Amino acid sequence: MSLELLKRTDHDVRPRAPARGRVAFPTRDYVARMRVSVLLFASYADALGPGPLPLELPAGATAADVVTALRARPGAVALPPAPMLAVNARWAAPATALADGDEVALLPPVAGG
């Protein structure tokens, strides 16, 4: 993944993060790196810490890149090969492109009811 300035691509059409907590950058359309907030729950929180975990990623990073970044941390063995993900409180595929300020959650298999 390139660390150079990257123009946002047109397919990046997910809902934007809420303004709350979003870091302001000099320009809206060109960013080199971004910061996301990672949330962990239940057994993932027990293994990796409760979060929220601030994470800096290259522009253009996807939700899957968050998982990759976490694998270097202690306790990451608790994560399955492809944990379920949410971006800004909505279910998201691993390929979902992230934006600065996004909230990315790693969700253990749900067990409500």
Partner 1 sequence: MTLVSRVAVSAAVSGRLVRTPISGAALLDAVAHETAGAQTAFLGAVRDHNAGRAVTGIDYAAYEPMADAELAAIAAEAAERWPGVRIAIEHRIGTLAVGEISVGIAVAHAHRAPAFDACRFAIEAIKARVPIWKREHYVDGTRAWVDASTAGAAGAPTTGATP
Query: What are the beta bridge partners of residue 55?
Result: 36
Report the alpha-carbon distance of residue 2 to residue 57 in Å, rounded: 10
We find the least distance from the C-beta atom of residue 78 to partner 1, in angstroms, to be 10
- Note whether 76 binds partner 1 by CB under 8 A: no
Judged by beta carbon, residue 8 or residue 14, the one nearer partner 1 is 14
Residues 6+ apart with CB under 8 A from 80: none
- Note whether 111 binds partner 1 by CB under 8 A: yes
Candidates 10, 20, 1; CA nearest to 88 is 20
Residues touching partner 1, count (CB under 8 A)? 18
Is residue 70 within 8 A of residue 106, CB to CB? The reply is yes
We find the least distance from the C-beta atom of residue 6 to partner 1, in angstroms, to be 28
- Note whether 107 binds partner 1 by CB under 8 A: yes
Judged by beta carbon, residue 30 or residue 91, the one nearer partner 1 is 91
